[in-house]
Amino acid sequence: MIAGRLSRVTAAVFLALLCAAAPARGSALPPVSGAGSTFASPAIDQWIVDAGAKLGLAVSYNANGSTAGRTQFEQKLVDFASSDVSYRFPNGLANEPTPTQPFTYLPLVAGGTAMLYNLKDNAGRPITDLQLTGPLIMKIYHQHWKSNGNILWNDPMIKAENPHLEFRLPATPIIVVARKGGSGTTAVFTEYLRTQASQLWHEYIYNSGQACYGGEPCLPTSDWPSERGAELRADSAGLADFVGSKNGTIGYAEFAYALQRGLPVARVKNKSGNYVLPTACNQAIALTEAKRNPDGTYNLLEVYDHGHASAYPISSYNYVIVPAGGSDPAKGETMAKFVLYSITDGQKLASDLGYSPLPSNLIRQGFIALNDVPGHPPIPADPDVWGKFYQGLALPDGTKCGDAGQKGTGGGVDGGGGVGGNDGGGGQNNGDQNQNQNPNQNPNGDKDKPQNPGQNQPQNKNTPNGNNPAKNTKQPTQGPGTNNPQQTGGPVAQGQGRDPTGPDAPVQDGATSPASPDGTVTTTTGDPALALQQQQSQTLAQPGAATANSLIDPRLAADSAKAVDATARSAATPWALYVVAMVVITGLFLPPPLLRLIRRKRGA
């Protein structure tokens, strides 16, 4: 009898705590703001909506370009930044100020810079199966400048790459479009062009005031030269809109912008000789050749020349830059929760949005970095729970994207990944059955429906050497370590720190990280129990996830734990909970005669 009453008491107290709970835990956290990359903006915008709906987080983001985002973060005008490249990239940006506060980079999402175009043949029919090469893209921009805009779409050099379009390419002037101001997309794009046609790039950029010093080869640039005749637009959305509005145009932006607007994108020839689309899987395959720099960003030089038949050459990562100390813990909690959502449950949406999900080792890298954000929540221990979004994606023949990338280069390195693309490459004579396919009608294998868009781990922490939130009309989507050695160090030159990336690469379980430039390595110790607790609760979102105790329903246990935690965090004072609990307990322990008397009086 006593045991039964105690059980009722326990249940009643728990229900009382739930009833006394304030709004969801996340709603009590302060808002945070970020700025930067337009490359990652479609994904970030969606994650903001989802994290707001599911976690009660208030996050705003201004897609004003990677350079502006880094500047605002350095000036402490925003809480975090998103950038496609690191501070002082390329090496020529020696005067860019870097933050005085400790900070760290962590990969946020992988993507592909697509060549968007708008072209109709002489009969007014859209051309949707254009093929380009890196040198040809550079030639188009170069010749447009040299000829004062008099290069045509039926130019012999374009026909040579598109024999299937020989009689359809019109005598329409080519209008080239580029980004205005500091752009991470431009930095990656120009680095690619420089690797493919260095002499033409040197001629194009020389004496433009950009990235050229003395007799040295001209470097990539984040700021497209304004005097080269290209139409310039302030952001990727504006560039894509301009391309979509005017026949004869071509420009560059992340693949997501083409999917959103139904614009065709060119197949780009890779090192194997195939023409490929920037599908998520093709991005993933190319990024298996990305090499990790000591600061946590990735060197892409070998990505551009990946030898696999399906590798999309202009593939890259986007990074979120977060403080690694010295910031408000409350804001740090909001920020860390948002980033944690983005690199875990948020990766499920990456391929649908035009990106490629992160592999487990890059998710782990994010976990490690978030451990240094003041106020961070418990960090999961097992990135494979979400790395499955990468691991489960395959080419049409069933080959896993990450495995395909390793086989294409002899194995040993890996990178980002994504949904199996609609093609395994391309080209005129390589058996590509999707040669004339519009990628916007089948980016992920759907022929009819358009796609719209740790524990014991090393840490790379970088130490010192006005945001207008964008409106977001997206709808929420359905459902989403500790003991860490950490490395301090500043930006590094491209080409250094050549560690491989990917699921099989060392991010490196139980190992110390590579030494920073000044050789400093420090270690902090956390609570493994917190990481384990968070890992178990995170399995809720994963159907069929195993638990350590088969006698306990993990969903109910985690829901109860969350409810108690939320109640304890959100209640006005401990005394309020005490009073409620005592009222319930008193009611349950009233002597039976007194209870009967109360009931009789109520009945009367």
How high does pLDDT run on average in the chain?
74
Residue-by-residue DSSP string for 139-182? HHHHHHHHTTT--BTT-HHHHHH-GGGTTT--SPBPEEEEE-SB
Q: Give the pLDDT confidence of 30-41 residue by residue, as tens digits.
A: 999 999 999 999
Cβ contacts of 90 within 8 Å, gap of 6 or more: 187, 191, 211, 219, 220, 221, 222, 494
Q: Would you say residue 362 has pLDDT above 70?
A: yes
CA distance 547 to 536: 7
582: in domain:
no
**Quick one: tokens of 378?**
């418990």
| pLDDT: which is higher, 520 or 483 | 483
Query: Among residues 307, 310, 361, 401, which one has the least CA distance to residue 505?
Result: 361
The per-residue pLDDT for 575 is: 42
The per-residue pLDDT for 579 is: 44
Beta bridge partners, 120, equal 126
267: in domain:
yes
| pLDDT: which is higher, 134 or 2 | 134
Beta bridge partners, 318, equal 109
Q: Would you say residue 52 has pLDDT above 90?
A: yes
- The answer to whether the CB of 373 falls within 8 A of the CB of 367 is no
The per-residue pLDDT for 507 is: 44
Mean pLDDT, rounded, for 568-572: 40
| pLDDT: which is higher, 93 or 531 | 93
Mean pLDDT, rounded, for 452-480: 44
216: in domain:
yes
- Residue 481, domain extent: 26-508
586: in domain:
no
H-helix or E-strand spanning residue 567: helix 554-570
The per-residue pLDDT for 211 is: 58
Cβ atoms < 10 Å from Cβ of 124: 8
The per-residue pLDDT for 405 is: 75
Residue type, 317: Y
- The answer to whether the CB of 35 falls within 8 A of the CB of 72 is yes
220: in domain:
yes
Number of structural domains, the chain? Answer: 1
The per-residue pLDDT for 104 is: 95
CA distance 498 to 495: 7
User: The tokens 């030494």 sit on which residue?
Assistant: 515
**Dihedral (CA of 463, 468, 473, 476) sign:** positive
Rg, the chain, Cα only: 27
Mean pLDDT, rounded, for 305-333: 95
Q: Give the pLDDT confidence of 129-188 residue by residue, as tens digits.
A: 999 999 999 999 999 998 887 899 999 999 999 999 999 999 999 999 999 999 999 999
530: in domain:
no
pTM above 0.75, yes or no: no
566: in domain:
no
| pLDDT: which is higher, 593 or 391 | 391
Cβ contacts of 149 within 8 Å, gap of 6 or more: 173, 174, 175, 229
Q: Give the pLDDT confidence of 60-108 residue by residue, as tens digits.
A: 999 999 999 999 999 999 999 999 999 988 654 557 899 999 999 999 9
DSSP reduced 3-state for 308: coil
Question: What are the C-alpha distances in Å from 34 to residues 58, 98, 216, 335?
Answer: 11, 17, 36, 9
DSSP reduced 3-state for 273: coil
pLDDT band at 403 (very low <50, low <70, confident <90, very high): confident
420: in domain:
yes
Q: Residue 428 belongs to a domain with what CATH number?
A: 3.40.190.10
The per-residue pLDDT for 207 is: 73
